[in-house]
Structure 1
Amino acid sequence: MLDIVGDDGSQESVKEYYGSVLSSKNDLQTSACCTSESMPQYLRPLLRAVHDEVQEKFYGCGSPLPLGISGLRVLDLGCGTGRDCYLLSQLVGEHGSVIGVDMTPQQLEVATKYLDYHRKAFGYQSSNVEFHEGYIEDLSAVGIADNSVDLVVSNCVLNLSPRKQAVFGEIFRVLKPGGQLYFSDVFADRR
């Protein structure tokens, strides 16, 4: 199995892998983060509006993006190039908002490069998506306040954190009462 989390538990090797080693899906050294399952029908037309470069550099393993979220404030943990953020942008509509957090500057560079492209493609007056560089274990460092989001999503990222308890603590902290978590990830069965 490919080990991209450093021996000391640091995330520097993860940043290096996703920031410098990978330039497209074809560079992945494992198939764990790519599913052969087809995307849900309701997302397919939305995906057509997402820029090709954003899609080509997507490394998720599922589609943890629910329907019925119009007007909500959504947080995407480990957003990468923003593919899911741009899908969520369409699902929440112009009056909702999406925050993407990722620790990899190279991934965020691609995500932010297409903010205006997607705003125009979706017909919005202003973008409802924002991206922040930071760690999912410390969302307060990027300004995510207590009880401030309705929905947290994550796609093939939680497994990469050496501090999962901190991640789930942050998710609990930022979710509004009644808020929800949707995630897709890989795991190892130790039985």
Structure 2
Amino acid sequence: MVTFKEELKKVVLQSHRVFNLIDEIAKPTIALLNGITFGGGCELALACDIRIAEEHVQIGLPEVKLGLFPGGGGTQRLPRLVGEAKAKELMFLGEPLSTKEGKEIGIINKVVPTGEGLNAAQMMAKRISGYSLQALSRIKRSVNDGMELEFKAALDLELNHFLDVFQTEDVREGVQAFLEKRSPKFIHL
């Protein structure tokens, strides 16, 4: 017979797998926040690379107020984003942040007026998608993987990605377009 604890563990591990897939996808990810973003919703947003919030949004990890604990990666992703002390404060108090406060500490990248979030996210996504996926994916891997390494090892990782990107067709196209004073047409190879 499966116990409640075993069943709960299974559910939490599944959410970890989903959030990790989002975090580790090679392409940049953008979360659009347009309402209350508490608990698991906040943890989902933290798994994304960029967070755009409409000005009425509140964000936070209020689990402590219910005697609960952030279990979807919040205790690990939030400190990496805002620092250990601020993350502990936010989780110990469980108070929601306004978009202004969220932007000030780095949880939110951009605040837009209510109703304009989808357009802002699509514009940013379109702009990013115009760049080389070869470069974008290496930037993302360098940052994500480098955060887990000592600084010198992280610089070595960056160097390896920098050298690898010079083997791509997109670098050749980007440099050629620059020399010809035109916009590059990346093929993501």
Please say whether Structure 1 and Structure 2 have the same fold, judged by a TM-score greater than 0.5.
no
Q: Flag the structure with larger Rg.
A: 2
Highest relative contact order (Cα 8 Å, sep 6+), 1 or 2? 1
Higher normalized helix content (fraction of residues): 2
Compute the TM-score of the two structures, normalised by the length of structure 1: 0.29
Higher normalized strand content (fraction of residues): 1
